[in-house]
Chain A
Amino acid sequence: MAQSNFDRRRINGPDESYQPIFESDDELEPKWKPGNPRKGRGARDLRPIYLKAGFISQANGSAYIETEKTKIACAVYGPRQSKTTVYNEKGRLNVEVKFAPFSCTRRRVPIRDAEDRSVAVQIQQALVAAVRLELLPKSTIDIFLTIIENDGIEGCVAAGSVAASVALADAGIEMLGLVASCSAAIVGEEVWVDPTDEEGRIASGTLVLAGMPALGTITSVWQTGSMAPHDAVKCMEACQECCTDIHAVMAQVLLENAGKT
Chain B
Amino acid sequence: MASQLISKSESAYIQASLQATPPLRADGRGLLDFRTVLLETGVAPLANGSARLNIGRMPHEGGGGTELLAATKLEVEDVDSGDGVDGGRVVCSVSCSPSAYPHLSPNTLEELQYDLTVILQQAIGHPSLHPQNLTIIPRKKSWLLNLDVIVLADAGNVVDALFMAARAALWDTKVPRTRAVQYRAPEQLQTTRDSAGAMDVDQREAIPAASGFDTREMVRAAADFELPDYWDEGEVLHGREKWPICITLNLLPPTHFLDATPAEEASVPLRMHLAFSFGDPNSPRLQSMRLSGPGELDLTQVKAHIADGERYARELFNALEAKVRDEDIRRNVKARDKFALR
Interface residues of A (CB under 8 A from B): 114, 117-118, 121, 125, 128-130, 204-205, 207, 211-212, 215-229, 232-233, 236-237, 240
Residue pair A221, B295 in contact (C-beta under 8 Å)? no
Closest to A220 in B: B291
A-facing mask of B123-163, CB < 8 A → 1, else 0? 10010110000000000000000000000000000000000
Given contacts A125-B292, A223-B290, A233-B306, contact A217 B126 (CB under 8 A): no
Pick out which of these stretches binds chain A: B65-73, B114-122, B212-220, B334-342. B114-122
A-facing mask of B320-336, CB < 8 A → 1, else 0? 00000000000000000
Residue pair B111, A117 in contact (C-beta under 8 Å)? yes
For residue A205, which residues in chain B have a CB less than 8 angstroms away from its CB?
128, 286
Nearest chain B CB to A149's CB is how many angstroms away? 23
Q: Does B210 contact A (CB under 8 A)?
A: no
Residue pair A229, B298 in contact (C-beta under 8 Å)? no
A-facing mask of B101-117, CB < 8 A → 1, else 0? 00000000001001101
- Once bound together, how far apart are the Cα atoms of A133 and B293, in whole Å? 14
Q: Does B299 contact A (CB under 8 A)?
A: yes
Interface of chain A: mostly helix, strand, loop or mixed: mixed
Pick out which of these stretches binds chain A: B21-29, B42-50, B277-285. B277-285
For residue B310, which residues in chain A have a CB less than 8 angstroms away from its CB?
229
- Once bound together, how far apart are the Cα atoms of A222 and B287, in whole Å? 11
Residue pair A219, B126 in contact (C-beta under 8 Å)? no
Residue pair B289, A218 in contact (C-beta under 8 Å)? no
For residue A114, which residues in chain B have a CB less than 8 angstroms away from its CB?
114, 117-118
Residue pair A129, B294 in contact (C-beta under 8 Å)? yes
Residue pair A227, B285 in contact (C-beta under 8 Å)? yes
Known: A117-B114, A219-B296. 14 other contacts (CB 8 A): A118-B118, A129-B296, A217-B296, A217-B297, A218-B297, A219-B291, A219-B295, A223-B286, A224-B287, A227-B285, A229-B286, A229-B306, A229-B307, A229-B310
Nearest chain A CB to B93's CB is how many angstroms away? 10
Nearest chain A CB to B51's CB is how many angstroms away? 23
Given contacts A218-B296, A218-B299, A236-B299, contact A228 B286 (CB under 8 A): yes
Residue pair B291, A125 in contact (C-beta under 8 Å)? yes
Nearest chain A CB to B91's CB is how many angstroms away? 12
- Once bound together, how far apart are the Cα atoms of A217 and B302, in whole Å? 10
Q: Does B303 contact A (CB under 8 A)?
A: yes
Nearest chain A CB to B126's CB is how many angstroms away? 6
Given contacts A117-B111, A211-B296, A226-B126, contact A221 B289 (CB under 8 A): yes
Interface centre among A226, A227, A237 (most CB of B within 10 A): A226
Closest to B117 in A: A114
In the complex, 19 of the A-B residue pairs with CB atoms within 8 angstroms, ordered by the A residue number, are A117-B111, A117-B114, A121-B118, A129-B296, A130-B296, A204-B128, A207-B289, A218-B291, A218-B297, A219-B296, A220-B291, A221-B289, A223-B289, A223-B290, A224-B287, A224-B288, A226-B287, A232-B286, A233-B303
Enumerate the 10 nearest inter-chain pairs by beta-carbon distance, A residue then B residue, closest first: A226-B128, A223-B289, A217-B296, A118-B118, A226-B285, A221-B291, A129-B296, A128-B294, A224-B122, A229-B286
Nearest chain A CB to B103's CB is how many angstroms away? 13
Closest to B289 in A: A223
Other-chain contact of A129, B117, B289, B295, B307 (Cβ < 8 Å): B295
Given contacts A129-B295, A218-B299, A232-B306, contact A225 B126 (CB under 8 A): yes
For residue B298, which residues in chain A have a CB less than 8 angstroms away from its CB?
216-218
Nearest chain B CB to A161's CB is how many angstroms away? 13
For residue B128, which residues in chain A have a CB less than 8 angstroms away from its CB?
204-205, 225-226
Other-chain contact of A222, B115, B283, B290, B297 (Cβ < 8 Å): B290
Given contacts A114-B114, A118-B118, contact A212 B288 (CB under 8 A): no
Nearest chain A CB to B104's CB is how many angstroms away? 14
- Once bound together, how far apart are the Cα atoms of A130 and B298, in whole Å? 14
For residue B115, which residues in chain A have a CB less than 8 angstroms away from its CB?
117-118, 121
For residue A212, which residues in chain B have a CB less than 8 angstroms away from its CB?
296
Given contacts A125-B291, A205-B128, A233-B306, contact A224 B299 (CB under 8 A): no
For residue B296, which residues in chain A have a CB less than 8 angstroms away from its CB?
129-130, 211-212, 215, 217-219
Residue pair B307, A223 in contact (C-beta under 8 Å)? no
For residue A130, which residues in chain B have a CB less than 8 angstroms away from its CB?
296
Residue pair A237, B117 in contact (C-beta under 8 Å)? no
Residue pair B118, A226 in contact (C-beta under 8 Å)? no
- Once bound together, how far apart are the Cα atoms of A171 and B277, in whole Å? 44
Closest to B309 in A: A229
A-facing mask of B215-235, CB < 8 A → 1, else 0? 000000000000000000000
For residue A237, which residues in chain B have a CB less than 8 angstroms away from its CB?
299
For residue B294, which residues in chain A have a CB less than 8 angstroms away from its CB?
128-129
Nearest chain A CB to B89's CB is how many angstroms away? 15
For residue A220, which residues in chain B have a CB less than 8 angstroms away from its CB?
291
Nearest chain A CB to B280's CB is how many angstroms away? 10
Nearest chain B CB to A178's CB is how many angstroms away? 13
- Once bound together, how far apart are the Cα atoms of A117 and B272, in whole Å? 20
Closest to A133 in B: B294
- Once bound together, how far apart are the Cα atoms of A212 and B295, in whole Å? 12
Other-chain contact of B285, A211, A216, A228, A240 (Cβ < 8 Å): A228
For residue B292, which residues in chain A have a CB less than 8 angstroms away from its CB?
125
- Once bound together, how far apart are the Cα atoms of A217 and B301, in whole Å? 10
- Once bound together, how far apart are the Cα atoms of A129 and B114, in whole Å? 23
A-facing mask of B244-281, CB < 8 A → 1, else 0? 00000000000000000000000000001000010000
